[in-house]
Structure 1
């Protein structure tokens, strides 16, 4: 009975691929990525949650606007519904961008204490 031959090729091993990628990034000059730690993953999870909540809010607004458009009786009513939708979308996207930028900046280590481990 023939033994199965296991390949040591890193292209077939996702863990080895990830390790090789991180090593290449570190060698490219970004330094050790240990600074990320569990706090980084927690912030990334919070950011993902924020994005999902934002998308859900926007979908609710889309449905609400669609409902309003279906009940318009005049062109002026339709125009008001469209303008209200665009104004709300602009406000929500602007606020969400600010939130995500702040969350991203909070994720980085404090550069005032030392710049040795700051990735950017």
Structure 2
């Protein structure tokens, strides 16, 4: 993996974790009557993230199988390139999904609190 791809993946993960952290901090300030909404949002975020992890594991296993069956260095390089390109696209997609879920939950919360 190139340094640039490593940096992109690191930045994507940091942004996703920061978004989740911000959402959790805001959720801690919620009153009891909004707690069910928070739990629904967190459950959805966790489900989405678990699906993302499962997809990445499947991609990893698929790539390992393809790499083991490759017949040349060129073919192996193409397999690795596809894997890393797909990974970066999926990580960015997941950051976007998590950000949208967080934004939706925060908008719902502020509307219920009368601050939106």
TM-score using structure 2 length: 0.66
Match in the other structure for 2:80:
82
Counterpart of 2:9 in structure 1 is: none
Q: Which residue of 1 aligns with 2:94?
A: 96
Aligned residues: 87
Any unmatched runs of 5+ in structure 2? 1-24
Unaligned runs of at least 5 residues, structure 1: 1-24, 26-30
Match of 2:58 in 1: 60
List structure 1 runs of 4+ shifted beyond 2 angstroms: none
Whole-angstrom CA distance in 1 between matches of 2:29 and 2:92: 34
**Residue among 28, 33, 38 paired with 2:30:** 33
Distance 2:99 2:29 in 1: 24
Aligned to 2:45: 47
Q: Which residue pairs with 1:15 in the alignment?
A: none
Output the aligned Cα RMSD: 2.5
How many Å apart are 1:114 and its aligned residue?
Answer: 4.3
Larger gyration radius, structure 1 or structure 2: 1
Q: 1:46 to 1:32 in 2, by over 3 A?
A: closer
**Does 1 or 2 have the higher relative contact order (CA < 8 Å, sep 6+)?**
2
- Equivalents in 1 of 2:88, 2:114: separation in Å? 38
Q: Secondary structure at 2:100's aligned position in 1?
A: helix
